[in-house]
Amino acid sequence: MGKNEKSPNQISLTFIVNGTEIEITKVNVHQPLKVSVEKALAESGNTGRPLSDWQVKLDDNELDISQKVESFNFPEGVKIFISLKAGQGGDR
């Protein structure tokens, strides 16, 4: 496979972590989304908090990161937002 070719089981995802854009390439679509979220947090230097303190959203919908990437049918160029959860309880 050439340098720019991707396996059919791989996609690239772009995460926005606290305003910083992080691209994760070669995401295996058969892995849970959680794997890519952890990589994005690590690359952005956000490793001091447990994964449960973060929320992952696409178009204001919270994503279940335990689901496999392929189950979301993400469009090319999708931007997924990762941010710290607000305090427990209360709607903002």
Q: What is the pLDDT of residues 13-22, one digit of tens each?
A: 999 998 999 9
Taking only the tens place, the pLDDT of each residue in 51-89 is 999 999 999 999 999 999 999 999 878 999 999 998 644
CATH code for the structural domain at 10-84: 3.10.20.90
N residues, the chain: 92
Asked whether 11 and 77 are in contact (CB, 8 A), the reply is no
Parse the chain into domains and list their residue ranges. 10-84
The pTM (predicted TM-score) of the whole model is: 0.85
Q: Which residues of 76-90 are buried (b: 16+ CB within 10 A; e: fewer)?
A: eeeebbbeeeeeeee
